């Protein structure tokens, strides 16, 4: 049975051209980019080229890009690095309630060493209100971090508006753009942010390569002390093959961004319309309009997400869920709860993230596969039986 993979948020397949670009650095070109000899310098050129490519994708300069091993590391470097560097100025950090754990937990770590954090709530569509961010600012605030798009509910956040309010008060703004870069146009100048995280595996780059944009003149203390790699902002020998792969993936994304987005948005819309139109008691999560082009997410009432996920998996369809049971921590998604969904509905979470290669036929397959699965699980569900009983009486 061919696999139908719709979990790009977790990982996307490596683009063949990215793999091809990586191969020489897994074989013959093994030098260390910090070495002054020819073997090192050849590799340094490739790393610098990748830096250019990643910078171009987001409208930055090459020397504003710090390569990291993951989006989580980029988020940690932004939160902790910026906050610690600006510690003399203030010790208050503002984040949104729907941030990735690597932002929320980095903020919690800062609390342990004397910082305070404000968590700004979201509305029912997962949108952060720029006014609420502005109200959370204090004279001690040094960093605001609001994500550009939420992978779990697809909502695109008003980061430019938030950044404008912060800039007026000389407060640094970081945005976690891991779910957005490579899928929607992202320009750091238009956003007005000082720091931005991106990660290769969400746009067909290899695992192990991500980056933090740090606007020229923005100070961040390194998380890893050591040599002068990444201009002293991240010590350790570079993961050269992955960085080169990320660079190639960034070039491809830049060239195909518009075409990919239009195609994916059409498939996404059909998936949303098909699922909502075919099945009762299913809600779309996130913002219908301001939404990632490749993302469709739902909560299915009376059934639990992990059961849905396993059932789809048995039919060869790979998706994600934010239900408590599907998480190792057995906690329902903090994103869905922050949006005000009740626990029972949040348990029925299902997240589809489409690939460039996803076809219209595959979307129809998914919509059709859904029916018998929902029916089977609802037949088993005591909450659905209860619902039917109440409806009859």
Query: Which residues participate in catalysis according to the annotation?
Result: 325
Q: Please pick, from the candidates 5, 115, 298, 302, the single residue that binds another protein as defined by CB under 8 A.
A: 302
- Contact track, another protein, 339-378, x by CB under 8 A: ---xxx--x-------------------------------
Q: Which residue has the tokens 């569509």?
A: 125
Residue 94 CB, nearest approach to another protein (Å): 19
Closest CB to another protein among residues 29, 105? 105
Residues numbered 313 to 342 that lie near another protein (CB under 8 A) are 314, 323-326, 328-332, 342
Closest CB to another protein among residues 170, 329? 329
Beta strands per DSSP E along the chain:
4-5, 65-68, 92-96, 116-120, 141-145, 172-176, 195-199, 210-214, 282-284, 295-300, 317-318, 349-353
Q: Please pick, from the candidates 29, 105, 116, 365, the single residue that binds another protein as defined by CB under 8 A.
A: 105
Distance separating alpha carbons of residues 198 and 209, to the nearest angstrom: 9
Residue 363 CB, nearest approach to another protein (Å): 25
Inter-residue contact 43 to 240 (CB < 8 Å): yes
Residues 6+ apart with CB under 8 A from 98: 122, 126, 128, 147, 150, 152, 153, 155, 334, 335, 338, 339
Distance separating alpha carbons of residues 49 and 62, to the nearest angstrom: 9
Tokens at 257, concatenated? 């961004």
Closest CB to another protein among residues 180, 300? 300
User: What does the radius of gyration of the chain's CA atoms come to, in whole angstroms?
Assistant: 22
Closest CB to another protein among residues 34, 381? 381
Tokens at 160, concatenated? 């430019």
Residue 322 CB, nearest approach to another protein (Å): 11
DSSP state of 205: P
Residue 262 CB, nearest approach to another protein (Å): 37
Q: Please pick, from the candidates 89, 108, 140, 169, the single residue that binds another protein as defined by CB under 8 A.
A: 108
Q: Please pick, from the candidates 27, 37, 38, 379, the single residue that binds another protein as defined by CB under 8 A.
A: 379
DSSP state of 81: I
Residue 332 CB, nearest approach to another protein (Å): 7
304 part of the interface to another protein, by CB under 8 A: yes
Number of residues that bind another protein (CB under 8 A): 29
Angle, alpha carbons 221-226-228 (nearest 5°)? 80
Closest CB to another protein among residues 91, 323? 323
Paired strand residues for 4: 317
Closest CB to another protein among residues 135, 343? 343
Site residues for another protein per CB under 8 A: 105, 108, 302-304, 306-307, 310, 314, 323-326, 328-332, 342-344, 347, 379-385
């Amino acid at each position: 049975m061919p696999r139908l993979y719709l979990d790009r948020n977790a990982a996307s397949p490596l683009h063949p051209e990215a793999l091809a670009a990586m191969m020489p650095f897994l074989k013959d070109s093994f030098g260390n980019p910090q070495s002054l000899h020819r073997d090192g310098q050849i590799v340094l050129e490739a790393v610098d080229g990748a830096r250019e490519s990643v910078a171009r994708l987001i409208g930055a300069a090459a020397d504003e890009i710090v390569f990291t091993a993951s989006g989580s590391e980029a988020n940690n470097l932004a939160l902790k690095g910026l906050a610690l560097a600006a510690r003399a100025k203030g010790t208050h950090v503002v984040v949104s309630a729907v941030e990735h754990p690597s932002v929320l937990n980095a903020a919690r770590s800062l609390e342990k060493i004397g910082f305070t954090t404000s968590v700004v709530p979201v509305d029912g569509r997962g949108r952060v209100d720029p006014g609420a961010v502005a109200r959370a600012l204090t004279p001690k605030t040094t960093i605001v971090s609001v994500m550009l798009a939420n992978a779990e509910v697809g909502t695109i956040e008003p980061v430019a508006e938030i950044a404008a309010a912060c800039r007026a008060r000389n407060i640094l703004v970081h945005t976690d753009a891991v779910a957005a870069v490579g899928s929607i146009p992202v320009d750091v100048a238009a956003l007005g942010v000082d720091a931005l995280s991106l990660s290769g595996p969400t746009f067909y780059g290899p695992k192990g390569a991500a980056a933090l944009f740090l606007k020229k003149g923005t100070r961040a203390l390194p998380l890893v002390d050591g040599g002068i790699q990444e201009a002293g902002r991240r010590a350790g020998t570079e993961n050269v093959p992955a960085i080169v792969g990320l660079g190639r993936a960034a070039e491809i994304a830049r060239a195909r961004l518009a075409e990919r987005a239009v195609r994916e948005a059409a498939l996404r819309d059909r998936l949303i319309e098909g699922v909502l139109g075919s099945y009762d008691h299913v809600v779309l999560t996130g913002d219908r309009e301001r939404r990632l082009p490749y993302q469709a997410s739902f909560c299915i009432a009376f059934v639990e997400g992990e059961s849905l996920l396993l059932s789809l998996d048995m039919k060869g369809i790979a998706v994600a869920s934010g239900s408590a049971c599907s998480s190792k921590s057995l906690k329902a998604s903090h994103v869905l709860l922050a949006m005000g969904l009740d626990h029972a509905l949040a348990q029925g979470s299902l997240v589809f993230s489409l690939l460039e290669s996803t076809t219209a036929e595959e979307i129809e397959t998914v919509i059709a596969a859904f029916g018998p699965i929902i029916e089977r699980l609802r037949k088993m569900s005591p909450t659905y039986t209860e619902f039917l009983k109440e409806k009859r009486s």
